[in-house]
Amino acid sequence: MEPLPNCDETKWRHCHGLAFYSHRESEGRRMFWRDGSLPGATAFAAITETDDVFVLLGNGRDPARWLSIHDELGRIVYERL
């Protein structure tokens, strides 16, 4: 999987391919990820180029904050994968 051309992968939620966002810090590993939220439910999935996988499905109680929570979660997952 490759991100679209002319994307700055170092900016969070900036490079979106056909199904996933792509993120990479400097020369670090690339992580592809996708997230979403519905009333009462939240989901986040990520995969690295070396096939590390993270999937979260949980209940969401604050629909106004899901985006900022997912942005923070995604950065934490990237640091750990």
Half-sphere exposure of 56 (CA within 13 A, CB side): 19
CB 9 within 8 A of CB 30: yes
Say what the pTM is: 0.81
Mean pLDDT, to the nearest integer, of 40-53?
90
- Look at residue 28 and tell me whether its pLDDT is greater than 90: no
Domain interval for residue 21: 15-80
pLDDT, position 1:
58
DSSP state of 70: H
Residue 8 domain-assigned (yes or no): no
pLDDT, position 18:
80
Residue 6 domain-assigned (yes or no): no
Mean pLDDT of the residues in the chain: 86
Look at 47 and 16; give whichever has higher pLDDT. 47
CB 19 within 8 A of CB 34: yes
* Number of domains, the chain: 1
Residue with tokens 């986040």: 44
